[in-house]
A = this chain, B = another copy of it.
Amino acid sequence: MALHKTLYIGPFIHCKTLNDLDICPNGLIGVDEDGKISHVSRDAKEGLLPAQGGWEHAKIVRTEQHGFFFPGFIDTHIHASQYPNAGVFGNSTLLDWLNTYTFPLESSFKDLERASRIYNRVVARTLSHGTTTAAYYATVHVPATNLLADICKSRGQRAFVGRVCMDRLSPDYYQDESTESAVRDTQACIDHIKHIDPEFNLITPIITPRFAPSCTDETLAALGKLHHATGLPCQTHISENLQEISLVKSLFPTSDSYAHVYDTAGLLTPKTILAHAVHLTPAERHLIKTRDAKISHCPASNTAITSGRAKVRTMLDEGLTVGLGTDVSGGYTSSMLTETREAIFVSRHVAMDEGDEAKLSVEEALYLATRGGAKVVGLEGRIGGFEVGMEWDAQMVRLGAVGGAEEALDERAGLVEVFGEETWEEKVAKWVYTGDDRNTVAVWVKGRLVHSREGFKG
């Protein structure tokens, strides 16, 4: 699938650092046949288009009114299999939510036809939200997990696909039989992905112990070994909810903390994604920092199922690496734009208790959703921003313009209202606070167009 050389012309916006949102109102980005960014111009003029090396025949894609290019979102924690339950959790909290809503749904993925319907939908939907990379939990089922990998590959979403390991405190009808079977089944999924994407260009297997309470010491240790032997990343949950933390304490009585449980098993490394991290102690944060493990902050979920308020400012100040995760379906939304908003709002609730410095700005939250996420999944050299040598994982955003007094609402334009006097910073804020998938007109991964909306001319 060789691509056309393409010139993306129009404003582009990306995060340079946590606090520096780089807004370039008059940009041009050249993307080569491999989907790599080959040049970035901050002052595009028609006459200055590249005129040689084949670029004179390049395809041209332009933004629309009040539009801009923005890096694709990186969802560092999402349970693909739980997607049908998005919004369905009642007043439950983590442990009863798992038993009431989650395990019954996940167990149904032994039915491949059902898995196909749900996985196709969640990949299509997250792409439509501008999610170009996702770190997915699947279920325990090898065929369905492999199918998820196939669907990500064919729909063109960059993905980490994890077959879930869980061999205790889980329902009889839904668990691993033994440590051996958990490792064997995980290996089977790794082998499948090696077969469909040998260099893990798009799809990467990820070792996935569900969380400490649902894995025996033996299974955790065996998965730690596999993690080291294969060099593959791993993902799990940590310190989401107070009852869960008590449970971990009682299940691992000799361990110093929840984080130490993973460390003892060899599962706390620079390639580890830890989801939630709501109630970490200072000692745990220090250990995680020492090991350079990564944090997936899941504010929508932590609010929805009342897990608590993660202290993101503290984690950032201490030098931890943080990205955002929708955590569908503890999280009610599959939209990373909504998740970005939720990160800001949760930070305001932290600020009510701890002072204004806890607040995340729009710029900071967008950083977490892009560059931060890229670091969390270990792809900071390839995605998350617009720099020469990086890959074109991007979305084209379009904002609605308000016309005259009598002009009707444009049904397809979405809810962002640009009256015309806004600065670029204000337009970005309006996108974050009032935008949705309607504003994401087109989405590319590695230069390939993987989603577009009616009316997009590309």
Contacts and interface: CB of A to CB of B under 8 A. Distances in A.
Interface string A408-438: 1101100111010110001001111110110
Given A361-B91, A432-B87, A453 B306 contact: no
A86 B405 contact: no
A283 interface: no
B409 A125 contact: yes
Contact of A434 (B87, B406, B454): B87
Interface residues of A, number: 60
A348 B88 contact: no
A306 B352 contact: yes
Contact of A91 (B87, B359, B434): B359
Interface string A127-169: 0100000000000000000000000000000000000000000
Interface in A316-361: 332-333, 335, 345, 348-349, 351-352, 356, 359, 361
A386 to B, nearest CB: 24
Interface centre among A335, A352, A406 (most CB of B within 10 A): A352
A402 interface: yes
Contacts of A408: 124
A93 to B, nearest CB: 8
A303 B348 contact: yes
A410 to B, nearest CB: 11
Please indicate which of the listed interface residues A405, A416, A430 has the most CB atoms of chain B within 10 Å of its own CB: A405
A124 B409 contact: yes
A17 interface: no
Nearest to A422: B88
A388 interface: no
A447 interface: no
B88 A453 contact: no
Contact of A417 (B91, B125, B409): B125
Nearest to A122: B417
A253 to B, nearest CB: 27
A216 B93 CA distance: 48
A118 interface: yes
A362 to B, nearest CB: 8
Contacts of A303: 345, 348-349
A333 B417 contact: no
Nearest to A431: B87
B121 A429 contact: no
B406 A120 contact: yes
13 contacts: A86-B430, A87-B434, A88-B429, A118-B419, A120-B406, A128-B409, A304-B348, A304-B433, A306-B348, A306-B351, A306-B359, A308-B352, A412-B412
